Amino acid sequence: MKLNYDREEFYKAHLARDSRFDGKFFVAVKTTKIYCRPICPARKAKLENLEFFIHAAEAVAAGYRPCLRCRPETAPGSAAWVGTGATVRRAICLMDSCALDEMSIHELANKLGVGARWLRELFQQQVGVNPQALLLAKKLDISRNLLDTSTLSISDIAFSSGFNSIRRFNDAFKTKFKKTPSEIRRVRNSIDTKLILQLAYRPPYAWDRMINFFKGRIIPGVELVEDNTYQRLIRHGENRGWFRAKLCEKNKIEFEFKLNKNANILEFVTRLKNIFDLDCDPMAIENTLQEDTKLRPLLKQYNGLRIPGCWDGFELAIRAIVGQRISVKAAHTILGRIVETCGERQLLDKSLGLTHFFPSAARILEANLANIGLTKPKIESITLLAREVVDKTITLDGTGDFADTCKRLLSIKGVGKWTVEVIAMRALRDPNGFPETDLELQKKIVELQLNPHKWVPWRGYAAILLWNINA
């Protein structure tokens, strides 16, 4: 849960330009005396010409000046972020993860605990555009995708993308794309009323392995795997829904879905990408992992693996706590009982083969979890976690500070390092998360004479690889 990389490991993370490392370290070029963020779009220098620093102040003290392109002095964790709770990063996450169709910039600023004017200044300094422009760009990108790949009506696309009026949607769309939504939309001969969305990935993608992972961990009533597809019920705030995912052509995954009301598709897309790890670069990851020569043959056999994510971080945390020191089958039998005990019954569509939404933290607190197979210590851990989530002292949606979230999780009685690493890897999107105390991983590392130190910063993918061996 801490960065403790050597030079070569820092360089691997730097080459990947993966946003998950932004703000966690800085890269300085000796020849130009400039230091950057790991996500900087500038051409990458050779390793021998670089220095790496954990803090931007260290780079400045060493005589480096900040890059004008990536503005490292304003990266997550820098002085520009401290004191405002990583304001800009949280704002961008909220734009991705929250329903902002009725939230103004003033309301967003209030939610972040800052003034609207200060929020605009922070965005201008750190991102280069004001928050309205960034949010508008996100909405338009989603609406364009929906026009191309969904069967939603244009008005539904406008409202689902976060616009409050058709006229404003049409004007903004025409300004950016130089065509109206109706002009750009593909002509469809089908009269199918299903809502469909397609999201792209970088190949290869081990779809069968992903499906098998979910299949072995199905929560009865909430999820279902059949005909090489994955489906589940989803809940967030007042929204209730269902989706089914299947592999399709041209390196895309197709999502058929139903929602009980118009929702901001920005949030929907972000969560789907997290579940199926659609933003990762498998080639960059493989280039690092194959440096462990004992692991190299396995990479060829199990290429295209992804880290299975989750729809909801709280649900994943409950899964991890329940799964401590028992078999996967036993854990999901108990999870099914938890859902039956306090999960909300779905009224979305009686034809669905699924019956319940996974319970919220509030419903967990109201329920009696005795006599369903849980030990008293696990009931106490689950209750303590639910209380922290309800009180908002722990956030598991990725908008909170990563280190602080891990620290707070570890402070909960009964939540150990294995549990936190699983949550970090699958819910908080830490690509280096590695449950090193996992008995199965330890056994395979010894049997195959592997070297986990060579896997940084992609240890999470190595864990998935080892779990897949003989699975």
Is 299's pLDDT higher than 90?
A: yes
* Extended beta strands in 317-402, E state: 344-345, 356-357
> Which is more confidently placed, 1 or 235?
235
Q: Of the given ranges (161-175, 258-272, 311-325), which has the lowest mean pLDDT?
A: 258-272
Q: What is the pLDDT of residue 398?
A: 79
7-74 architecture in CATH?
3-Layer(aba) Sandwich (3.40)
134-276 architecture in CATH?
2-Layer Sandwich (3.30)
Euclidean distance between CA atoms 21 and 18, whole angstroms: 6
Pairs from 329-335 (Cβ < 8 Å, separation ≥ 24): 330/373, 331/217, 332/217, 332/218, 332/219, 332/220, 333/373, 334/372, 334/373, 334/374, 335/219
* Extended beta strands in 285-332, E state: none
Note the pTM of the prediction, 2 decimals: 0.71
Q: What is the pLDDT of residue 250?
A: 85
- Distances in Å between the alpha carbon of 273 and those of 148, 228, 259, 297? 18, 18, 18, 28
Q: What is the maximum span of the chain, computed from C-alpha positions, in angstroms?
A: 67
Euclidean distance between CA atoms 57 and 46, whole angstroms: 23
CA atoms within 13 A on the CB side of 325: 7
Is 100's pLDDT higher than 60?
A: no
> Which is more confidently placed, 383 or 22?
383
Is 116's pLDDT higher than 90?
A: no
Residue written as tokens 């049409």?
170
Q: Of the given ranges (10-19, 245-254, 258-267, 449-458), which has the lowest mean pLDDT?
A: 258-267
| 423, two tokens | 């949550």
Q: What is the pLDDT of residue 82?
A: 41
Q: 192: pLDDT confidence band, cut at 50, 70 and 90?
A: very low
Q: Which of 303, 284, 287 minimizes the C-alpha distance to 208?
A: 303
Q: Residue type for 87, please?
A: T
Pairs from 450-453 (Cβ < 8 Å, separation ≥ 24): 450/292, 450/294, 450/295, 451/292, 451/294
Q: What average pLDDT score do residues 415-441 get?
A: 93
What residues contact residue 127 under an 8 Å CB cut-off, 6+ apart?
A: 88, 92, 134
Q: Residue type for 319, please?
A: R
Is 189's pLDDT higher than 60?
A: no
Residue 172, phi then psi, degrees to nearest 5:
-65, -40
Q: What average pLDDT score do residues 409-427 get?
A: 96
Q: Residue type for 107, please?
A: E
Identified catalytic residue from 141, 156, 401, 438: 438
Q: Residue type for 443, please?
A: K
Q: What average pLDDT score do residues 304-314 get?
A: 96
The verdict on whether omega for the bond into residue 457 sits within 30 degrees of 0, i.e. cis, is yes
Q: Which of 331, 353, 287, 316 minimizes the C-alpha distance to 433?
A: 316
Q: What is the pLDDT of residue 219?
A: 96
Is 129's pLDDT higher than 70?
A: no
Pairs from 2-6 (Cβ < 8 Å, separation ≥ 24): 2/403, 3/54, 5/52, 5/456, 5/457
CA 461, 313, 332, 273 dihedral sign is: negative
C-alpha angle 284-215-383 in degrees, rounded to nearest 5? 95
Is 217's pLDDT higher than 90?
A: yes
Cα 386 vs. chain centroid, distance in angstroms? 21
Q: What average pLDDT score do residues 98-117 get?
A: 69
Q: Residue type for 370, please?
A: A
Q: What average pLDDT score do residues 137-154 get?
A: 79
Identified catalytic residue from 18, 22, 36, 430: 36
Q: 101: pLDDT confidence band, cut at 50, 70 and 90?
A: very low
Highest mean pLDDT among 50-64, 311-325, 386-400: 311-325
Q: Residue type for 398, please?
A: G
Q: What is the pLDDT of residue 264?
A: 62
Q: What average pLDDT score do residues 310-324 get?
A: 96
First to last CA, the chain: 27
One DSSP character per residue, 231-266 reads EEEEEETTEEEEEEEEEETTTEEEEEEEESS---HH
Residue 148, phi then psi, degrees to nearest 5:
-80, -35
Is 156 labeled as catalytic in the residue annotation? no
Is 67 labeled as catalytic in the residue annotation? no
Determine contact, residues 443/416, Cβ cutoff 8 Å.
no
> Which is more confidently placed, 403 or 364?
364
Q: 334: pLDDT confidence band, cut at 50, 70 and 90?
A: very high
Q: What average pLDDT score do residues 373-396 get?
A: 96
Q: What is the pLDDT of residue 243?
A: 95
Q: What is the pLDDT of residue 412?
A: 97
Is 133's pLDDT higher than 90?
A: no
Euclidean distance between CA atoms 221 and 375, whole angstroms: 23
Cα 3 vs. chain centroid, distance in angstroms? 19
Q: What is the pLDDT of residue 258?
A: 87
Euclidean distance between CA atoms 452 and 459, whole angstroms: 7
Q: What is the pLDDT of residue 335?
A: 97
Query: Does residue 229 sit in helix, strand or coil?
Result: strand
CATH topology of domain 277-471: Endonuclease III; domain 1 (1.10.340)
Q: Of the given ranges (75-84, 325-334, 441-450), which has the lowest mean pLDDT?
A: 75-84
% of the chain at pLDDT higher than 90: 50
Residue written as tokens 């969305």?
197
Q: What is the mean pLDDT of the chain?
A: 86
Q: What average pLDDT score do residues 207-216 get?
A: 95
